[in-house]
Structure 1
Amino acid sequence: MPDFLLSQLLVSVTLIIECGAMQLKNKNYILAALSVSCFFNGFHYLLLEQPTAGYIFLFSSIRFLISIKWKFQWISAASLCVSLIITVSTYIGILSIIGFFATIFITIGSFSKNDRFLRLMMITGGSVWLLHNLLLWTPVGILVEVIFVGSSCIGYYRYYVAHKPSEP
């Protein structure tokens, strides 16, 4: 099976998971689902010869699990440093830089104690990953980010616009 086709199959698993992840109310469930989706997405990028995105997503899989238990800002900063080291050591051009910037937003959001802020950072980071995937031209990867950002916006609307919560 060609690497491109296998990559699209792997990212299809990500697509299935992310279709529902941002509709969950419990932030820890969101982060757990994102951890699993990042695992498949990481291998998708490695098959497309995008080591920066691949290793950032594999690391993100672990980072999301860590952020379920601990919300310390120093762990967020350490995670960003690891992502920067990955970016510098696997640098292959503008896509490496775009992927790192997307990761900044998602990392900051995942270590936030505030669900609203988490969702806004996921929308921003997902939008930057969408740009990355458009430039890379990974069709299912593009669809993943369109659905992820769209689902994040719908989830934000459901929980913070249409239904005014008693706590942020």
Structure 2
Amino acid sequence: MDNYTLSQILVSIAIVFDLLSFQFKTRKHVVLCLFIAGVLIATHFYLLNAFTAAVVMTIASIRYLTSYFSSRPGVRNLFLIINGVTLFVTYESFISLVAFVGSCLQTIGAFSKDDREMRLIMMVGTVVWLSHNVLVLSPMAVVMEVLFLLSNIVAYLRFYNKSPIVTKSEY
């Protein structure tokens, strides 16, 4: 099997983990799925010789794995500093700044102790990444972010929109 085919298989599996991630209620299960998806996406980029993207996704994977074990503000701040250094080293245009903001939001979300807060911050971060992917003209990345956002919205509504259902006898 060639690298391209393998990369497409890996990113397809990653999308499944992305979609599943927010269907779990427990924050640790969410970030574990995001870690697995990140490793698969990073490997996908590596196989395509997209080394910068592979490094950024590797950092994100390490961030998710770290947030699985700790939600301490100091650890979160370390990853925010790493994001800042990455922006400084790789800055090319406004698009780099959009990626930086998206990554910072995902970092803050990943280290949120409350799963409800995590979901809301991740949704905002996903919208920023969606904007980034539109700006860089990457249709598959746009599809991935839209699916990720929809999955998060569905799960959020499932877990937190507990409005009472009116039955026929209550009219």
Give your verdict on TM over 0.5: yes
Q: Normalising by structure 1, what TM-score? A: 0.84
Q: CA RMSD in A?
A: 2.3
Indicate whether 1:61 and 2:99 are aligned. Answer: no
Counterpart AA for 1:90: T
Structure 1 distance, partners of 2:45, 2:3, is 14
* Matched positions, count: 162
Aligned residue number for residue 31 of structure 2: 31
Instruction: Mark the runs of 5 or more structure 1 residues left unpaired by the alignment.
Output: none
Aligned residue number for residue 146 of structure 1: 146
Indicate whether 1:131 and 2:135 are aligned. Answer: no
Deviation string for 1:116-158 (max 9, x for gaps)? Answer: 1000011011111111111222222111100111111111111
List aligned pairs for 1:10-159, cutoff 5 A: 10-44=10-44, 47=48, 49=50, 51=52, 53-159=53-159
Instruction: Mark the runs of 5 or more structure 2 residues left unpaired by the alignment.
Output: 165-171
Between stretches 54-63 and 111-120, larger displacement belongs to 54-63
Between stretches 54-63 and 102-111, larger displacement belongs to 54-63
Structure 2 distance, partners of 1:145, 1:116, is 19
Using a 3 Å threshold, how does the CA distance of structure 1 residues 91 and 45 change in structure 2: closer, same or farther? Answer: farther
Using a 3 Å threshold, how does the CA distance of structure 1 residues 129 and 137 change in structure 2: closer, same or farther? Answer: same
Structure 2 distance, partners of 1:138, 1:2, is 20
- Bigger-Rg structure (1/2): 2
Q: Normalising by structure 2, what TM-score? A: 0.83
Counterpart AA for 2:72: F
Using a 3 Å threshold, how does the CA distance of structure 1 residues 44 and 132 change in structure 2: closer, same or farther? Answer: farther
Structure 1 distance, partners of 2:64, 2:153, is 20
Using a 3 Å threshold, how does the CA distance of structure 1 residues 96 and 112 change in structure 2: closer, same or farther? Answer: same
Structure 2 distance, partners of 1:43, 1:133, is 19
Using a 3 Å threshold, how does the CA distance of structure 1 residues 96 and 45 change in structure 2: closer, same or farther? Answer: farther
Using a 3 Å threshold, how does the CA distance of structure 1 residues 98 and 11 change in structure 2: closer, same or farther? Answer: farther
Deviation at 1:49, TM superposition (A): 4.6
Structure 1 distance, partners of 2:9, 2:149, is 20
Structure 2 distance, partners of 1:6, 1:135, is 27
Deviation at 1:7, TM superposition (A): 5.7
Deviation string for 1:2-48 (max 9, x for gaps)? Answer: 86x77655432321211211111121111011011112333455648
